[in-house]
Amino acid sequence: MAVEVRIPTILRQYTGGAKTVEGAGDTLAALIDDLESRHPGLRDRLTENGSLRRFVNVYVNDEDVRFLGAEKTTLSDGDSVTVLPAVAGGAR
Amino acid sequence: MLSIRRELVDAIVAHARKDHPDEACGVIAGPEGSDRPERFIPMLNAARSPTFYEFDSMDLLRLYKEMDENDEEPVVVYHSHTATEAYPSRTDVSLANEPGAHYVLVSTRDEDAYEFRSFRIVDGEVTEEEVQVIDGE
């Protein structure tokens, strides 16, 4: 089962410059493990101790996975996954 | 160096003033690879805070899809500091994820004058750059 994953500019250093890559997995966590096998370094940029990083947004079919089940979100064949780093900061 | 039209500078400053004392944030998109800021896109600060800003996650997705469809990129990413100088904080640096963007900071701490400065933030390193304001057109 294949899932299309859109990679943001800052993480394309791990995908040889590719904007989209294919991956597989029944859950987001499994997909990230699968991506890591071909794009080493990517997992650490997305997760910390197995949980999604606070300032990385991941969407499955345009829904924020924080409202779906985070890294346990289930995936189906043909799903589209988008990764976007948060745009955030501030004087604090 | 950041080259930016006067009206866009005015629009950023007006947004920062309007949201003061909360931080204001947004993007100026431009054609991919052009380094020309053209389309002003004020964003909602989902944090609604005087010391923090964050684009709402759904707004962020819409913004990036829209830029993608238009072959645009975020040429400028701007936000305001409302009580401190217009210089990237440690938080700004650690969360900067657009190495190709000009990070514009505006300070609204002074009611009568504003600071408008631009930086590159790449791999945790901050480099201030000259701002060239283009009049007319």
- H/E element holding A64? strand A63-64
Average pLDDT, chain B: 97
* Cβ pair B60:A91 closer than 8 A: no
Q: How confident is the model at residue B62 (pLDDT cuts 50, 70, 90)?
A: very high
* Cβ pair A87:B99 closer than 8 A: no
pLDDT (0 to 100) of residue A91? 87
The nearest CA of chain A is from the CA of B5 a distance in Å of 23
Confirm if B103 and B123 have CB atoms less than 8 A apart.
no
Is residue A92 over pLDDT 80?
no
| Minimum Cα–Cα distance from A55: chain B residue | B95
Mean pLDDT of A46-55: 95
* Cβ pair A87:B60 closer than 8 A: yes
Among the partner-chain residues B52, B64, B73, the one whose CB lies closest to the CB of A90 is: B52
Tens-digit pLDDT profile for residues B75-105: 999 999 999 999 999 999 999 999 999 999 9
Among the partner-chain residues A64, A85, A90, the one whose CB lies closest to the CB of B91 is: A90
Tens-digit pLDDT profile for residues B15-26: 999 999 999 999
The nearest CA of chain B is from the CA of A58 a distance in Å of 9
pLDDT (0 to 100) of residue B18? 98
Q: How confident is the model at residue A77 (pLDDT cuts 50, 70, 90)?
A: very high
The nearest CA of chain A is from the CA of B110 a distance in Å of 16
The nearest CA of chain B is from the CA of A53 a distance in Å of 12
Mean pLDDT of A35-44: 97
Is residue B35 over pLDDT 70?
yes
What are the extents of the domains in chain B?
A: 2-134
Q: How confident is the model at residue B44 (pLDDT cuts 50, 70, 90)?
A: very high
Tens-digit pLDDT profile for residues A3-22: 999 999 999 999 999 999 99
Fold of domain A3-85: Ubiquitin-like (UB roll) (3.10.20)
Mean pLDDT of A46-72: 96
Mean pLDDT of B52-68: 97
Q: Alpha-carbon Rg of chain A, whole angstroms?
A: 12
pLDDT (0 to 100) of residue B137? 58
Which chain B residues have a beta carbon less than 8 Å from that of A89? 52-53, 79, 88-89, 91-92, 95-96
Is residue A1 over pLDDT 80?
no
In chain A, % of residues over pLDDT 90: 97
Is residue A88 over pLDDT 90?
yes
Strands A80-85, A3-6: pairing is: parallel
Q: How confident is the model at residue B136 (pLDDT cuts 50, 70, 90)?
A: confident
A64: closest CA among B126, B118, B95, B57?
Answer: B57
* Cβ pair A57:B61 closer than 8 A: yes
CATH architecture of B2-134: 3-Layer(aba) Sandwich (3.40)
Whole-angstrom Cα distance, residue A28 to residue B11? 40
Tokens of A84: 């976007």
Mean pLDDT of B41-64: 98
